Chain A
Amino acid sequence: MTLADTQPQALNFECETGNYHTFCPISCVAWLYQKIEDSFFLVIGTKTCGYFLQNAMGVMIFAEPRYAMAELEEGDISAQLNDYEELKRLCEQIKRDRNPSVIVWIGTCTTEIIKMDLEGLAPKLEAEIGIPIVVARANGLDYAFTQGEDTVLAAMAQRCPSQAPVAETEKEERNAISKLLNFGRKKEDMVEQESEYVDHPPLVLFGSLPDPVVTNLTLELKKQGIKVSGWLPAKRFTELPVLEEGSYVCGVNPFLSRTATTLMRRRKCKLIGAPFPIGPDGTRAWIEKICSVFGIEPKGLAEREAQIWTGLEDYVNLIRGKSVFFMGDNLLEISLARFLIRCGMTVPEIGIPYMDKRYQGAELALLEKTCQEMGVPLPTIVEKPDNYNQIQRINQLQPDLVITGMAHANPLEARGINTKWSVEFTFAQIHGFTNARDVLELVTRPLRRNHALKDLGWDTLVKEEARLS
């Protein structure tokens, strides 16, 4: 631990054993099937995968979800059954019952081990049943939790059209109808709307966010005259954005490095490497970076950021000077730590499953800069952490807050350590200026709750000496 050091010169990266708790990446189907409304996710795996999904998603499972397991049986493992025929049978059933616009196959550990050639089978079956099949290998052998979305979006990036469909006559006709329908609206209005934007190359943002957040971030960029040509993913598979060679792309989440790589290498797009729009500082830096790439002078951002901070003051007061320890499980850790340091917290350790120093380069630089400006020690970034060792360190450091998975949260609380369940950051709306308050609402909740209970005298609720293992 480098906590004792006064001011390390640079971020300190470490790597442990990888014995840590996180969600399996197949969990991405939970939010992606809701985001992509005309999709169907088929997870090809075993009972273990199914049991995880069923339990991790709680009540969602009962809402006729557009996902299912293709549960492998002994015959599938020993190749007594024909993979292609089996998948065809199931996909035809899905087509019959749900008629989706795309079926996403999620490959799992088992399909990896038995080397089921999903990428090879998909195009054949796609041609036969007439529904696009996208293959994503979101398995626990290679990835952690949110990286599942990364594998799906990287596969989807290949399906984005490379030029806008042009159908002039149809366009005319539709215009005629829309003219009739919108006769009240003047044509000048529409032209004016277009001219609100600066002339810049097309920009596509990638990362799955709830629709309200998409609208919000799109609007923030619009204020700077930047037009968002599309999002990967869009609300529907049939509305995937156009990716031309030379289009600019920018990520909104820190765990999308494969998608970024695919967009650059396979689709010849230009990646804008920016910090992520989490927290008002991150949002401002994100917008500024995009502006700078397009040669735009950002307007009113400093005031906007200051105004948001003023609104956060009551929450910031609660956490200023306190310490937070990230055990690491969803790859949002660097951005969240950077935001919390700006709020006045100290961060002894940032655990993270996987650290892409290139994709997160701008975010890491902002973290370093933030630490210097706030005069706090640089945190140690621990890749592939070891939960057992981390708990020893938590025991030693006694941080004011530990951001961790549910496996450790209750046991830590019983030992008098405040915890926040990390998965909530994945599902809550945390992006943009508007949602900065929601992040702090989550972070301060355990502190506010425990403040309310502080005089009751039952902080430690385990019998033996607080054994932390």
Chain B
Amino acid sequence: MKLAYWMYAGPAHIGTLRIASSFKNVHAIMHAPLGDDYFNVMRSMLERERDFTPVTASIVDRNVLARGSQEKVVDNITRKDQEERPDLIVLTPTCTSSILQEDLQNFVDRAQLEAKGDVLLADVNHYRVNELQAADRTLQQIVQFYTEKARKKGELPDGKTATPSVNIIGVTTLGFHNQHDCMELKKLMRDLGITVNAVIPEGASVHDLKHLSQAWFNLIPYREIGLSTAKYLHEQFGTPFVDITPIGVVETARCIRMIQKLLNEQGATVDYEPFIDEQTRFVSQAAWFSRSIDCQNLTGKKAVVFGDNTHAAAITKILTREMGIHVVLSGTYCKYDAEWFREQVSEYCDDVLISDDHGAIADAIARLEPAAIFGTQMERHVGKRLNIPCGVIAAPIHIQNFPIGYRPFVGYEGTNQVVDLIYNSFTLGMEDHLLEIFGGHDTKEVITKGVSAESDLNWTKEAQAELNKVPGFVRGKVKRNTEKFARDRGLTEISLEVMYAAKEAVGA
């Protein structure tokens, strides 16, 4: 048992659901107790999704506990198959169902006999993998399923596309800025003259999966999701892959050079150097920013970075290599992939922290007193408590991290966005500091006096106590309205009764 208040990566089934609901016309059925379908709320709220999330639960209740699911799961699958005609139904085990040890594969096999669509059991162990690992695994599983199915039917296409093409793998629902990143990557590919063969799983149809083999290479923008699929496709079709995340000027260039190498090895003759040069020096503002005097002011400032592997590593490199900021600590919660992270950031920071305990990272921040933090929503709150500004660079995230405006992290527009994020974090910190030195905004006292003029009314002890229970930010308003109500009626004492009467009166 572990005492835990907060977790960075969710449970395994969230990963499976993220993959399933990213595809078009794929439905997930969770084998879960009432209330475990919280995923639907998250997707509907955070992504502001217009469509019903294609996830339902086959409820595990007392009866199931006593007698087993029996026909229930099979019925739920076949019912959903008829109602929505999905191409694929993914039966998703949860932590609860995995200890019941029912033979879910058997349910899937039986349901498959009746269902028009395909039925698959997500193969993830709840006590061994987290959300990210499960997502990676499920994506690979679905790709493998449809590759093998097409092979059996002899529907696998031969060879590659005529001109260079790519599969972008790992863009998912509820992924940090994934939608914007996807658009930016497509634009980058267009600029490089590369056709996008497929983007999976987001917005893809499972019927397209058999065409994956036609791409010249696969691009894996995120370390956490998609690598297993890329390796599988490499094994099956020899398709090479690029797993350099194009976040930051240097890494974007490295990613493009890697693409260039892979394409030229397959007989293309592309030279992306002029493109990289033009973009770096004149299109992206990041390189210029790093020379400007704004950025000079940031030199040697201390920062702490924490997040998932992809983003924490990329931001660490940007801070150190592209802005001259001193990263005192860089950390990740992806413990299962710690070695990769160490290797990526070791030369760019003083210290590496591998932990999924938010207390450990909070203590480190308090100890190191950086000028800015780049982390998850949890680090943002640590920053609030310690009065240190924080830029959010990775999940777990809140609704404000699903902006409507265009905010990619990858590619050349991404470099601009990241500059703003970093620079704004630091200047706000400076401003705060200056305010403190000069004793805050001097208008504060005056404003307060003007608005809350001394009260001529007498508040009884109970009423005063009640008033103090009103949350601070509306207390003044409640006080003013109540006093106005009392004055209008010629009352001189405000009791509890008067308070309630004021609230009940219209407009008070």
Contacts and interface: CB of A to CB of B under 8 A. Distances in A.
A172 to B, nearest CB: 25
Nearest to A83: B1
A69 B83 contact: no
Contact of A19 (B2, B59, B100): B59
Interface string A140-163: 111111000000000000000000
A113 B65 contact: yes
Interface stretch (B31-39, B161-169, B184-192, B297-305): B31-39
Given A48-B96, A414-B50, A469 B5 contact: no
Nearest to A89: B1
Interface in A423-445: 433-434, 437
A141 B62 CA distance: 6
A69 B3 contact: yes
B349 to A, nearest CB: 26
Contact of B4 (A71, A76, A113, A142): A71
Contacts, number: 186
Interface string A289-314: 00000000000000000011001001
Contacts of B384: 62
Q: Is the interface of B mostly helix, strand, loop or mixed?
A: mixed
B11 A407 contact: no
A461 B50 contact: yes
Of residues B34, B65, B381, B469, which shows the largest number of chain A Cβ atoms within 10 Å of its Cβ?
B34
Contacts of A311: 504-506
Nearest to A463: B50
Contacts of B13: 48
Interface in A87-112: 87, 89-90, 93-94, 109-110, 112
B61 A68 contact: no
A21 B37 contact: yes
Interface stretch (B40-48, B107-115, B268-276, B429-437): B40-48
A259 interface: no
Q: Is the interface of A mostly helix, strand, loop or mixed?
A: helix
Contacts of A414: 50-51
A409 B45 CA distance: 9
Contacts of B10: 47, 51
A110 B100 CA distance: 9
Contact of B99 (A54, A113, A307): A113
A70 B7 CA distance: 12
B204 interface: no
A131 to B, nearest CB: 16
Contacts of A112: 65
A13 interface: no
Contacts of A90: 1, 3
Contact of B3 (A51, A93, A141, A469): A93
Given A113-B100, A141-B60, A212-B466, A50 B7 contact: yes
Given A18-B61, A141-B60, A388-B56, A73 B500 contact: no
27 contacts: A18-B59, A19-B56, A22-B34, A23-B38, A24-B34, A25-B35, A52-B35, A52-B36, A54-B6, A55-B42, A62-B381, A69-B4, A70-B2, A70-B4, A71-B3, A73-B127, A74-B128, A81-B1, A113-B96, A211-B469, A219-B497, A308-B504, A311-B506, A405-B41, A411-B49, A411-B52, A437-B503
Of all A-B residue pairs in the complex, the 7 with the closest CB atoms, nearest first, are A24-B35, A140-B33, A407-B40, A414-B50, A47-B11, A86-B1, A62-B381
